[in-house]
Amino acid sequence: GLNFIDLMVRQGNIDNPPKTPLVPGFECSGIVEALGDSVKGFEIGDRVMAFVNYNAWAEVVCTPVEFVYKIPDDMSFSEAAAFPMNFVTAYMMLFEVANLREGMSVLVHSAGGGVGQAVAQLCSTIPNVTVFGTASSFKHEAIKDSVTHLFDRNADYVQEVKRISTDGVDIVLDCLCGENTGKGLSLLKPLGTYILYGSSNMVTGETKSFFSFAKSWWQVEKVNPIKLYEENKVIAGFSLLNLLFKQNRGGLIKSVMDKLLNLYNNKKIKPVVDSLWALEEVKEAMQRIHDRGNIGKLILDVEKAPTPLMANDSTETSEAGEEEEDHEGDNENKERMPFI
């Protein structure tokens, strides 16, 4: 699975970035080839998906058994590689942190991305939940049915939300950071919860830029605890990778995965796969995420041969949007060739 956090790792925009050389990636799917002596519950040949603390973009991966889960019979490998990070993140923010209940409202940024689509699907499992989403305008046609109200990512979504819901929303899920932090807090109803789970505004170009990084942090509204107390608002942060690999909550994540797989087996949720890429095409795949051209999850497939590039090859988001509309009728897990 390819995630925005992988772009941040590449640019060093994370705490304690690993030393090179390294193999990136935090989730994968595949077939069990070998077992440790004390491993129980799995057999060689089992179809599995797993979290990995780096090294997921490899032909052979080793990870502790507590991070490995069996794949349902009717789930493809590409769906399985698209499942763990997005759906566990979305589920834990909505139900473990924000306590989503019937009749609540949720604002989610990047509604067309992997987590955004997982949030929308999980919200649909609870009655009368209103979902406000922001996304690039070319994605709107493809994702309009998954959210209640959809706004252009460059529009003044604060005014748009308040026009529809004068007192704001119950939950704000922010993967952007920067100036959106203050906007999100301003939209919270009393007893509402704002959750920061990413900072994609920190990634602005091909390389790490101190100035863009500093600008994004400068735009973050300084949170006054007294103001939170007076306005009855909750501010929270969520990092699945830290929860798994630094804070030893593998058991909690397993219980969440069990609930999610039950929802999948009951056809309540289904991962959205944007496209499949060969390992040699990782640069172009990362550029597609950087340009916010994807709808759902990008997957690196170790068995896929690179697609020959044409002279006018482009990953422009507007053209990627045309590609999406061309495939609006696709089924088969929405797997398709990379955009050319």
Report the C-alpha gap between 74 and 80 in whole angstroms: 10
Q: What is the pLDDT of residue 126?
A: 97
Contact partners, residue 20, CB within 8 Å, separation at least 6: none
Q: In angstroms, rounded to a whole number, what is the distance separating the alpha carbons of residues 330 and 183? A: 36
**pLDDT per position as a tens digit, 139-158:** 999 999 999 999 998 889 99
Q: What is the pLDDT of residue 214?
A: 52
Where do the DSSP E strands lie in the chain? 27-31, 47-51, 68-70, 105-108, 130-135, 149-152, 169-174, 188-196, 234-237, 273-277, 297-300
For residue 212, the model assigns a pLDDT of 53
Q: Are 132 and 311 in contact (CB under 8 A)?
A: no
Express each pLDDT in 320-336 by its tens digit. Answer: 333 333 333 344 444 44
Q: What is the pLDDT of residue 14?
A: 77
- Where do the domains of the chain lie? 4-300
Positions in the chain short of pLDDT 70: 199-221, 309-340
DSSP 53-87: SS--SSSS----GGGEEEPPTT--HHHHHTSHHHH
* Residues in Cβ contact with 47 at an 8 Å cutoff, skipping those fewer than 6 apart: 29, 30, 31, 70, 71, 77, 80
Q: In sequence order, what are the residues at sequence separation of 6 or more whose Cβ sits closer than 8 angstroms to the Cβ of residue 273?
A: 78, 79, 82, 296, 297, 299, 333, 334, 335
The 3-state DSSP class for residue 28 equals strand
Q: Which residues pair with 298 in a beta bridge?
A: 2, 275
Q: Give the fold, CATH level 3, of 4-300.
A: Rossmann fold (3.40.50)
